[in-house]
Amino acid sequence: MLETYHFGKDILYVTDEREAYVSLREKGSYVLPYLHEGVKSEDFPGASWLVEDLEKMDKDSLEPVYRRLAGLPWEILETKRCRVRETTVEDVDSLYRIYAESSVTEYMEDLFAYRDEEIAYIKDYIEKVYAFYGYGMWTVLEKESGAVIGRAGISWREGYDVPELGFVIGVPWQGKGFAYEVCEAILRYAKEELAMEQVQALVQKGNKKSLRLCEKLGFEQDREVWEDGALHVRLVKEKITL
């Protein structure tokens, strides 16, 4: 069988036939193997994604797979004023402008010193974090202007068994409620879409703005910890209720 799903000018092919799969891949097409009882032993070389319950799938549920195969970012969520999507290499220049403000990097790690290194890091992040977990740190855009205004998301920190909320909003957009608006939506997403019940935040001691924001979001201070050579306050939101 061979089914097609149209996404703009692109086509996503779904097939359970190895020869058709190989031929379409050689042509540079986006193709997804359909693995069912009749082809369980079939080999689909190079397949990063496959579908088993095609009868339960539709165009909307296949779109994330198409976007991953096409190298397009996933759209994560929208708020009243913002869009949150996966980061792309095209965001790099905007991120450097945001991180150029000394107040932004006072309490968090800076970007790589060289643009090429940051681009390589983002490409690796897309391939190994987004593709594996389906979430991570995302780009925040203002709807009205389309500008990249910061980053926010859910990630894992080595040494902890609780996912972590992270966020940064560029100086021109600070003090306008963007961070709370986006983080509140991300916490809701973490509960409803990722089935997370507990989330932590690590905030450098002295970063009063971020501490106030976390407490406004319902986080409670747990303890002080040393991370990356600096003293942080660990805050935990035990049950995500918003």
**Do 24 and 143 reside in the same domain of the chain?**
no
pLDDT band of residue 36 (cuts 50, 70, 90) is confident
Question: Given the DSSP bridges, would you call strands 75-78 and 10-15 parallel, antiparallel or unpaired?
Answer: unpaired
pLDDT band at residue 168 under the 50/70/90 scheme: very high
Q: Between β-strands 2-7 and 10-15, what pairing exists: parallel, antiparallel or unpaired?
A: antiparallel
- How large a percentage of the chain has pLDDT more than 90? 86
Please indicate, yes or no, whether residues 188 and 118 belong to a single structural domain of this protein. yes
Q: H or E segment at 214? A: helix 208-216
- Mean per-residue pLDDT, 184-206: 95
Is it the case that residue 40 has pLDDT exceeding 80?
A: no
The span from the CA of 40 to the CA of 231, in Å, is 52
Q: Judge whether 242 lies within some domain.
A: no
Domain count, the chain: 2
Global confidence as pTM? 0.90
Residues 102 and 134 placed together within one structural domain of the fold? yes
Per residue in 46-103, pLDDT (tens digit) is 888 889 888 888 999 999 999 999 999 999 999 999 999 999 999 999 999 999 999 9
- The domain boundary, picked from 69, 84, 113, lies at 69
Assess whether pLDDT exceeds 70 at residue 13. yes
Identify the band that residue 43 occupies on the pLDDT scale cut at 50, 70 and 90.
confident
Tell me the pLDDT of the chain averaged across its residues. Answer: 94
56 and 82 assigned to the same domain:
no
Last residue of a domain, one of 54, 69, 84: 69
**Of the candidates 90, 152, 94, 93, the residue with the CA atom closest to the CA atom of residue 123:** 90
Contact 178, 82 (CB under 8 A): yes
- Does residue 83 share a domain with residue 47? no
42 confidence band (pLDDT: 50, 70, 90) = confident
Local confidence band at 240 (pLDDT 50, 70, 90 cut-offs): low
| DSSP one-letter code for 126 | I
CATH of the domain at 123: 3.40.630.30
- Give the domain extent around 146: 75-237
Is 227 inside a domain boundary?
yes
CB within 8 Å of 233: residues ≥ 6 apart? 202, 203, 204, 205, 211, 221, 223, 224
**Residues 57 and 120 placed together within one structural domain of the fold:** no
